Amino acid sequence: MRKVFGFTAAEFVPAPEAVLRAQGVKRDRAADPRTAGLCTEALGLLEGLARPTGLLQELSRADFAAVYCGEGRNAERSPLAEIAPRAERLALFALTLGAPVTERIASLFAAGDFALAAMLDAAASESAELIADSLQRNYARALGETGGLNGQTRLLRYSPGYCGWHLSGQGALFAALRPAAIGITLRESYLMEPLKSISGVIVAGPGAIHSFADDYPFCADCDTRGCRQRIRTILQS
């Protein structure tokens, strides 16, 4: 399966509360009118400028093992290295909000409109995560339609640069996925162009394979412990 997906505004425009939280407004506090106004303006810009597109391509466990090796700079042990060999299905993915959003953020910063630039930047980051969630749901739906999903199958995604998968893994991922087809290219630094893009692998398999302890050596430097919530969510679904 190799497939390109588009996304509707309902899928990619984040809730104002999520953007305000990302900007430091506490969950139980109302934003002041100026901040709330900036958020509304940023979301309007995002909806008008975004060209969200995602690309998904399945590959075998053996092919993913080669992609994961990349330049050989991964952590000695990592969740993905232990989970992927037990996956039922694997799919590389890349998605982007498109260049116009990134360009507007840069032009706002260049013009000194830092408040709106930062709000649009936060909205775009939230939006990219929403698109990743939506792409994952689309993959689950496609698996369901082709009989590749049973009641126990759960999906979780991983990206180079996180959880022991070295950022240089982007090179092998891009060589296998070829996301230039949807306008995403890789800089020498392994950052993606446009900047508001996400790449990685979606792992589909029994819920139990996704559960792991957060005691890898690199976890000591992890502030978010984001895997805990993600694992809880998929195991409860």
Cα distance from N-terminal residue to C-terminal residue, the chain: 25
Strands 53-59 and 89-96: antiparallel
Sheet containing strand 153-158, edge to edge, reads 2-6, 53-59, 89-96, 197-206, 153-158
Nearer to ligand SF4, 52 or 160 (CB): 160
Does 222 help bind ligand SF4 (rule: CB under 6 A)?
Answer: yes
**H or E element that contains 154:** strand 153-158
Give least dist CB 17 to ligand SF4, A. Answer: 23
Nearer to ligand SF4, 93 or 158 (CB): 158
Does 218 help bind ligand SF4 (rule: CB under 6 A)?
Answer: yes
Q: Backbone phi, then psi, for 80, in 5-degree steps? A: -65, -40
Burial class for 111, CB neighbours closer than 10 Å (0-12, 13-18, 19+): exposed
Give least dist CB 213 to ligand SF4, A. Answer: 9
Alpha-carbon distance of 163 to 166, in angstroms, equals 8
Give least dist CB 214 to ligand SF4, A. Answer: 4
Residues 77-96 vs ligand SF4: string with x where CB under 6 A?
--x-----------------
Residues 134-173 vs ligand SF4: string with x where CB under 6 A?
----------------------------xx----------
Catalog residues that contact ligand SF4 under the rule CB under 6 A.
79, 162-163, 214, 216, 218-219, 222, 225-227
